[in-house]
Each structure stands twice: as C-alpha cells, then as structure tokens.
C-alpha cells in the first residue's frame, strides 16, 4: 500500500520540521510548502490525502487557499486541518466557513495532532 501524502503549509521552517519528522516516522509521505500560492499549486498537482494549513502565509492566506480547494469539486474531498496562532472565535468561525475540517491553535500537542491526522486518514 502506498503511503498517504500530507502537505504541510507554514512559513515557519522550525514548525514545518517539528511536524514533518513525527509524520515521516509514522510512515507518511510529507510535502512542504512555505507560501499560500505554492501550497495551492502543490495541492492541485499532488492531490495530497490531507493538508495541514497555516493561516498567516505570504502571497495567499490560508483562508483563501482553503476556500479555493474546498469549493473545487476536484479537491473538496481533501481534509484540511488549520494550524494557526489565531485563537479568536471569529478567526475559528471564518476557518470553518471556508471549509476547514479542523481548527487547531498553536501551540499544540504533537500527539494530539497525530491522532487527528490518523482519524481523518482512517488509520
């Protein structure tokens, strides 16, 4: 069975590595993007099984990336878990309105994140 592809989208390299390593240890194939525009292009090209998406990104913010993917029939099936420092209820509500499956605030527990990933990937 081919390993599941996960796209991590965050402009902070340290956070990307913090999340990438445990995912790779679990056997996932991890793709990385550091901007919203690149994330959108990679998602369309690679069709990942799940996306971990930051909100505050260069070029296109995470809300727009999420909306563009979730309102496109070719990609709306991809679970999107927003990982963000934005903790206000209005930010969470907007995240859910754009189609995010989960809204997880930073800092987060990596084990809880891995459980959510497995849940969405049915593993």
- Domain containing 56: what range? 5-116
Q: Tell me whether residue 121 is in a domain.
A: no
Please report whether residue 122 resides in a domain: no
More confident residue, 22 or 86: 22
Residue 25 within any structural domain of the chain: yes
What's the structural domain count of the chain? 1
Evaluate whether residue 43 is within a structural domain: yes
6, two tokens: 């996960």
Q: If you average pLDDT over every residue of the chain, what do you get?
A: 94
CATH code of the domain containing 100: 3.40.50.2300
pLDDT in the model for residue 18: 95
Give 91 or 39, the one with higher predicted confidence: 39
* 86 within a domain of the structure (yes/no): yes
pLDDT band at 123 (very low <50, low <70, confident <90, very high): low
Q: What are the tens digits of pLDDT across the range 25-70?
A: 999 999 999 999 999 999 999 999 999 999 999 889 999 999 999 9
Please list the residues that pair with 7 across neighbouring strands. Answer: 31, 51
In a domain, 111, yes or no: yes
Given this model, what pLDDT does residue 83 score?
A: 93
């Amino acid at each position: 069975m081919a390993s599941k592809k996960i796209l991590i989208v965050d402009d902070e390299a340290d956070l990307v590595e913090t999340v990438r390593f445990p995912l790779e240890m679990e056997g996932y194939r991890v793709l990385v993007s550091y901007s919203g525009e690149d994330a959108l292009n990679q998602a369309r090209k690679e069709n990942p099984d799940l996306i971990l998406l930051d909100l505050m990104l260069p070029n296109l913010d995470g809300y727009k990336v999420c909306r563009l993917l979730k309102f496109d029939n070719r990609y709306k099936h991809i679970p999107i878990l927003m990982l963000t420092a934005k903790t206000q209820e209005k930010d969470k509500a907007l995240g859910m309105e754009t189609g995010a499956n989960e809204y997880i605030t930073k800092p987060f527990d990596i084990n809880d994140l891995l459980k959510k990933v497995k849940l969405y990937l049915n593993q």
